[in-house]
Amino acid sequence: MIERVAGRVPVYVGTGSCSTREAVEMSKRAEDAGASAVSVINPYFMKVSDAEIEGYYEAVAESVKIPVLMYNIPKSTGTNLSPEVVARVAEIDNVKGVKDSSGNMDNLAAYVEAAEGKDVDVLVGSDGKISAAHALGASGAIAGTANLITNVVVSLWRALEEGDAEAAASYQADVEPIRDVLHMGSTPQTLKRALELAGVPVGPARRPVAETTPGVDEKVRAMLDHYGIAHE
């Protein structure tokens, strides 16, 4: 991927792990490969304390020179990064952001407050709440839907930045058809299938994720028609 984009856009590499040692090793490898930054989820499966989470991020940040992005997705990790943890980890020089995919706007607002006065961006990862996050002070969005409907998501953010509330509301609403389809399976399953049907050769999601059923494919094609995207 890094070779393919050839410096045209930044490449963030996910390097989070249950193991601090593994997260450090993967972060170093990502930096050596030319990654622009690493996106690091907190340890998952087992319950760890706030102090242990902070130590984990400190170890990752100390192991590389490139920016580190904290990634909060409690539905997958089982733990929500507290605003207090975010505030303390944000004091580390090369920790430059936090992506919040909790879907909880109170949580995101607390992150914005925790990042105040620091060189840290708060990014929303819940595509259906990009407008709400912008209103709370989010710096940007990391949107999975932008893999397919790039123009819609970029236009949404531009409208928000320009204060065009009517256009922003329209673009935000236009994110929903793809989100409806993505919810028919796991996001890797349905999003990658949508890209494949749109002629982008990304391949299917890796096992254990199964391929989509013919019924889901029919819904995907209808969604592509809605966006005017040619498909198989």
Paired sense of beta strands 95-100 and 140-141, if any: unpaired
For residue 114, the tally of other CB atoms under 10 A from its CB is 22
Paired sense of beta strands 12-14 and 37-41, if any: parallel
3-state secondary structure of 90: coil
3-state secondary structure of 119: coil
Residues 126 and 138 sit within 8 Å (Cβ to Cβ): no
Catalytic: 71?
yes
Which is nearest to 160 in space by CA: 139, 186, 177?
A: 139
Active-site position among 71, 96, 129, 192: 71
User: Can you state the angle between helices 165-173 and 150-162, rounded to 10 degrees?
Assistant: 160
Cα 189 to Cα 211: distance, rounded to the nearest angstrom: 6
Active-site position among 12, 56, 96, 99: 99
Cα 89 to Cα 56: distance, rounded to the nearest angstrom: 10
Active site members: 71, 99
